[in-house]
């Protein structure tokens, strides 16, 4: 066993493979120390740092042989170099691993037949990450990552078959779990939602391949097609020489990833609205570190700040709603005048023209009421990405029953309260449309949103719920201090003048 400040790594002299890689600062879903090696799967598929060669039988022999370890101590502390050697008089296999501080190590494997080096490859089977999760959740979050030399960003392949790919794909494409990438490579490896295992090749001829390989958990009684299929990755070189590499195994924490050379910061992809998500994350972390010490209350406080900043836009929305209510009688009169015509009747277009004319006469933009919702969407998506990707919120509690802000509310309390507060806010807010059908649709919206948020991260629901509560408080102030505009009464139609004889 080798231990440094962040990891505790256990090797076996049988095969000189990794039996476990425990990240000391993290727990799995069951509260145990997090081992990113899937021991159950690896017992069938092989353990990390298994050797491969052009001769499969040789590979099997080398991965079951007993190696000599130097230094021979059972417990080592970094900085240290650990070396394993095996020889049967014909083939010599050597593995060397150098540990310092942090999440990265240096490794080298080589095969020698007495006259020359042989091509070799090193594997990480069985996936990587939190294997205490359900197998289907693990498979969804696992991805392959690689970056060609000269490329600015890593490329990610999910290798999870799409719905149609399960039935119609026959070629060895990423959609059905196979990927081969030739060098030269800057990096290549595996990642899940919160953790990554990345090889840094140290020669241009090193290539990367990855497969989804099925295995049977203990006492497996399910269908063959439903067996877990974790990712297995190989770093290889067809050149007859030693295979050197660096290996990062750690959390997808921005500060940790930024400290790696080359930087792995782009493994945390906040998506299209990264210009919103990244500042949200930094603000959330700053509030947590300096004020609240709790990410739940940090979400609440940040939401209050965001809604306070957007309050002037909300005032514009309210005024727009009041103006729409003011001209509602006029609009209803126009709609009643044309209600007998069918939707595709050309005369129905006159109704729209008259309605637009009323909008223009009173200086009303019918879409202005939608502006606050449109502005909220980037924040909603940004919070969604932050809660989905930021490892700081993994297993982060709020209070009482909410033990993990990155997971759904187990009792659906937050989604229910969110739905109720959204309905109250909807009732308090002036409608921006005079159409009864659209008004009914607006009143159904809270139920739709509540249903949609049931399986979202509880932190995201907390964000929306807090926004509703702040909105209700703001609306109460507006209803008290902002005078309502009197409705406009449509003028009666003028009678045509009667000409005298």
Q: How many C-beta neighbours within 10 Å does residue 492 have? A: 6
More confident residue, 184 or 427: 184
Tokens of 108: 């080298």
179 and 42 in a common domain: yes
For the chain, how far is it from start to end, CA to CA, in angstroms?
116
User: Which of helix, strand or coil describes residue 410?
Assistant: coil
Structural domain including 226 reads: 2-269
319 and 256 in a common domain: no
d(CA 87, CA 34): 34
Q: How many residues does the chain have?
A: 501
Please check the confidence at residue 91 and state whether its pLDDT lies above 90. yes
Please check the confidence at residue 260 and state whether its pLDDT lies above 90. yes
Q: Is residue 355 part of a domain?
A: no
Identify the helix (H) or strand (E) that includes residue 318: helix 311-326
143 and 283 in a common domain: no
β-pair type (206-212, 178-181):
antiparallel
Please check the confidence at residue 165 and state whether its pLDDT lies above 60. no
Mean per-residue pLDDT of the chain: 85
Q: Is residue 72 part of a domain?
A: yes
Q: Is residue 337 part of a domain?
A: no
118 and 6 in a common domain: yes
175 and 116 in a common domain: yes
Distances (CA, A) of 98 to 72, 79, 104, 125, 476: 15, 8, 9, 21, 64
| Across 89-110, average pLDDT | 96
Structurally, the chain folds into a number of domains equal to: 2
More confident residue, 440 or 74: 74
pLDDT for the residue 403: 92
Q: Is residue 281 part of a domain?
A: yes
User: Which of helix, strand or coil describes residue 226?
Assistant: helix
304 and 163 in a common domain: no
Instruction: Determine if the peptide bond prior to 262 is cis (ω within 30°).
Output: yes
β-pair type (68-70, 143-148):
unpaired
d(CA 131, CA 118): 34
More confident residue, 336 or 253: 253
d(CA 110, CA 92): 8
Please check the confidence at residue 166 and state whether its pLDDT lies above 60. no
* 449-451-453 Cα angle (round to 5): 65
More confident residue, 480 or 192: 192
| Across 177-188, average pLDDT | 90
Distances (CA, A) of 443 to 88, 124, 373, 446, 448: 77, 53, 15, 7, 10
pLDDT for the residue 369: 59
Q: Is residue 257 part of a domain?
A: yes
């Amino acid at each position: 066993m080798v231990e440094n400040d962040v990891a505790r790594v256990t090797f076996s002299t049988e095969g000189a493979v990794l039996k476990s890689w425990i990240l000391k600062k993290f727990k799995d879903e069951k509260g145990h120390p997090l081992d990113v090696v899937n021991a159950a799967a690896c017992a069938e598929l092989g353990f990390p740092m298994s050797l491969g060669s052009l001769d499969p039988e040789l590979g099997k022999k080398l991965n079951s042989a007993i190696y000599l370890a130097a230094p021979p101590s059972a417990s080592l502390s970094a900085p240290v170099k650990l070396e394993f050697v095996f020889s049967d008089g014909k083939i010599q296999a050597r593995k060397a691993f150098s540990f310092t501080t942090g999440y990265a190590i240096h490794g080298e494997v080589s095969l020698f037949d007495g006259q020359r080096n042989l091509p070799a490859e090193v594997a990480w089977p069985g996936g990587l990450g939190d294997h205490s999760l359900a197998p289907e959740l693990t498979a969804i979050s696992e991805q392959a990552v690689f970056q060609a030399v000269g490329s600015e960003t890593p490329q990610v392949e999910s290798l999870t078959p799409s719905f149609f790919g399960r039935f119609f794909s026959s070629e060895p494409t990423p959609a059905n779990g196979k990927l081969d990438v030739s060098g030269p490579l800057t990096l290549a490896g595996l990642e899940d939602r919160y953790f990554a295992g990345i090889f840094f090749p140290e020669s241009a001829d090193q290539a990367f391949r990855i497969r989804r390989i099925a295995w049977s958990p203990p006492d497996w009684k399910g269908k063959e097609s439903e067996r877990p299929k974790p990712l297995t990755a190989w770093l290889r070189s067809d050149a007859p020489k030693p295979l050197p590499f660096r290996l990062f195994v750690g959390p997808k924490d921005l500060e940790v990833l930024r400290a790696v050379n080359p930087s792995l910061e782009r493994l945390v992809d906040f998506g299209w609205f990264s210009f919103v998500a990244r500042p949200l994350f930094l603000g959330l972390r700053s509030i947590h570190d300096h004020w609240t010490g709790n990410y739940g209350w940090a979400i609440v406080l940040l939401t209050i700040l965001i809604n306070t900043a957007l309050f002037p836009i909300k005032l514009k929305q309210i005024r727009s709603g009041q103006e729409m209510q003011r001209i509602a009688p006029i609009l209803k009169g126009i709609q009643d005048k044309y209600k007998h015509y069918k939707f595709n009747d050309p005369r129905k277009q006159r109704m729209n023209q008259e309605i637009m004319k009323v909008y223009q006469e009173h200086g009303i933009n019918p879409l202005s009421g939608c502006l606050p919702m449109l502005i909220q969407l980037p924040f909603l998506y940004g919070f969604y990405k932050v809660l989905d990707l930021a490892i700081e919120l993994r297993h982060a509690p709020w209070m009482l029953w909410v033990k993990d802000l990155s997971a759904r509310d187990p009792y659906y309390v937050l989604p229910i309260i969110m739905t109720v507060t959204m309905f109250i806010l909807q009732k308090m807010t002036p409608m921006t449309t005079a159409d009864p059908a659209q008004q009914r649709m607006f009143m159904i919206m809270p139920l739709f949103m509540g249903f949609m948020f049931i399986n979202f991260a509880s932190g995201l629901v907390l964000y929306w719920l807090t926004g509703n509560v702040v909105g209700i408080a703001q609306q109460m102030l507006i209803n008290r201090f902002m005078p309502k505009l009197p409705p406009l009464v449509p003028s009666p139609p003028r009678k045509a003048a009667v000409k005298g004889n």
